[in-house]
Structure 1
Amino acid sequence: MLLKFAYQDFLADRKFKNTTQVNIGNYERTLGLFVEYCLELGVINVEDVGHSHVRSYLVDCQKKGNKAGTINTKIMRIRAFYNYLIEEKMVSENMASKVKLQKEDVKINVFTDEQIHQMLAYYRSLRRREKSYFSYRGYLLIILLLGTGTRRKEVINLKWSDIDMLNATMSVHGKNRQYETIFMTGKLVKELSVYKIFCKNFFGIEHEYVFLNRDNTPMTDNSIMLVFKNLQTHMNFADVRVSPHTFRHTFCHRLAMSGMSAFAIQKMMRHKNINVTMRYVAMWGNELKEQNDKHNPLNKLDI
């Protein structure tokens, strides 16, 4: 079968299986480049692609400056493509299975207390000066992300009907496309209540979605990223990116530093696999050791 047709069939299969539009776009960008590379070499049939083509493509990517994380993503996309081809009996072997993932020097940056205070102070100042919807929205976005570790998509899809102020819980349409329950602290419930009253007074009606754009439509991936891009410009943090996912990392980091068990962190973060949680715990192991050395109960015992 022609490689370009097999690639189109694969994308159609992902869409049929309800893969998110974001992931479809990722497949088009990463896997599409591999298909183009093969076609430029004159390899037009699926069965003509060999291990050498996969390796030479990845070497070419390295020469172009792709880091280990990007290379590994491309390997996983190609593996997924070939798993589909095997299922459809177009090929009998996964050409990317023998290509080992590269070792990543992973360092996940999180916000310091000072940086969090600076961002909140910025929006508090805007609220006092402007009393605009966007200053209230920005402030609550930070509080919500920091206090729940929600994902970007979950935030923009959040509706008032998903929030139970009385029981301090909220339901989000999670990564596995199922509704999941998140617990809220009293502080977050208070901030949400204040924000809800402000919105009702500001708009004159109660909108369905919690976070809105300038035209009163629900926020999108693009619009929420523009909010944080603007905040990044005003904060000018040199060592950390201002994004919804950095708040999620910060949430996880604080849970780990508090001494919470990996199992509890997995439930709070809603990780499907405990191995994902363990990666975070292992990453911040040195910090946990420092905290243990500093606060261990034996420190004050004369033994």
Structure 2
Amino acid sequence: MARRKELTQEELLIIRKNITEEEAFEKFFKDCYLRNLRPATIEYYKNEFHAAKLLLNKELVNCNQNDIEELILQSKKIMKVTTINTRLRALRAFYNFLAKTKLIKESPMKNIKLLRDRQKTIETLDKNEIESLLKVIRKQKTFIGFRDEIILLVFLDTGVRLSELVGIDVEDVQGNKIIIRKTKNLFERTVYLSDITEEQLKRYVIIRGVLQTNRLFINRDNEKLNPHSIQSRFTKYGKEAKISKRVSPHTFRHTMAKRMIMAGVDAFTLMTILGHSDMTITKRYVNLWGADIELKHKQFGALKGLNI
């Protein structure tokens, strides 16, 4: 069989000692796009790779295990453990891809583990803090104030993420349920509303009116809402309500999880409602508030009150 004039990419890799960094990035990000990863995930990879290169002062494709260990040691001087682990996860994804596709002989992350970090207490809001927050919001008597009240109710009722909330369209609201389409794991899910949230949301939609944008929650200019503005407004409300804890969409998500666990919901149902990909975080919630569950069992156990 006659030889071709040009070698294939695979044949060139055999001849060449190393793949160039530009080629490695091109192949890695092409794979990311083919797997339809979220733009935010791809941007996260790019930012972490850039930061790691700056700290190492070396091309990532030429790094070995010693370089990664040095990266960790240098990072510990200037970063929190969670930030370092975030970077290590990005590097692991990159090197695992290169090793799997035989673009490098072995991943320098093969023997590198994430740093152990002390588990922090997950803050939640109690009944009085939620009521104080609502009082502060309702004092405004404006469209924006009413919108923020509905946003708070939806957060607490459904446990949706901030990115999911801003992606809700008007037609996604169907009676006592909302179809969440802009999800973290790309799987649509349905969340359910209590009677009070359903009724208030109906009133909000009427006041909102018909606009050019289909987004459910809008700003004062009748345009889709920016996630950062929601975060900053609830931070302000928290200060006005004199709540010492962090008041944020993520705090509302934790609060919803705790209140559902306290009400007796099972872990699998909670995992489905919150849109977790696996049980890891859900189990952590259950373990964290296990003492509360034990107390509830003592108060309302099935044998309590029986004359036996």
RMSD: 2.3
Letter in 1 for 2:185: N
Amino acid at match of 2:137: Y
> Any gaps of 5 or more consecutive residues in structure 1?
none
In the TM superposition, residue 236 of structure 1 has moved relative to its aligned partner by 4.3
Q: Which amino acid aligns with 2:115?
A: Q
Deviation at 1:80, TM superposition (A): 0.6
Looking at structure 2, the residues matched to 86 and 234 of structure 1 have their Cα atoms a distance apart, in angstroms, of 53
Report 1:1-303 matches (<5 A).
1-3=19-21, 6-7=24-25, 9-38=27-56, 40=57, 43-44=58-59, 46=61, 48-67=62-81, 69-106=82-119, 107-127=121-141, 132-165=142-175, 168-173=176-181, 174-200=183-209, 208-238=214-244, 240-298=245-303, 300-301=305-306
TM-score by length of 1: 0.85
TM-score w.r.t. the length of structure 2 is 0.84
Q: Distance in 2 between matches of 1:109 and 1:55?
A: 33
Larger of the two Rg values belongs to structure: 2
User: Over residues 220-266 of structure 1, what are the superposed CA-to-partner deviations in whole Å (9 max), with x where a residue is unaligned?
Assistant: 2333223223324433432x222111111111111111121112212
Question: For structure 1, which segment, 275-284 or 116-125, has the greater mean C-alpha deviation from structure 2 after superposition?
Answer: 275-284
Whole-angstrom distance in 2 between the partners of 1:118 and 1:287: 23
Distance 1:241 1:45, change over 3 A: closer
How far does the alpha carbon of each residue in 1:25-66 deviate from its partner, in whole angstroms, 9 at most, with x for none?
32233332112223x2xx3361x3111111111121111141
Question: Residues 283, 85 of structure 1: CA spacing in aligned structure 2 closer, same or farther, 3 A cutoff?
Answer: same
Give the percent of matched residue pairs that are identical in Structure 1 and Structure 2: 25
Query: In structure 2, what is the Cα distance between the partners aligned to 1:285 and 1:296?
Result: 15
Q: Structure 2 counterpart of 1:75, which letter?
A: L
- Bigger proportion of residues as helix: 1
Aligned partners of 1:285 and 1:14: how far apart in 2? Answer: 39
Q: Deviations over 1:199-227 (max 9, x none)?
A: 23xxx758522111232211123332232
Counterpart of 2:191 in structure 1: which amino acid? I
Q: What are the ranges of 5 or more consecutive residues in structure 2 without an aligned counterpart?
A: 1-18
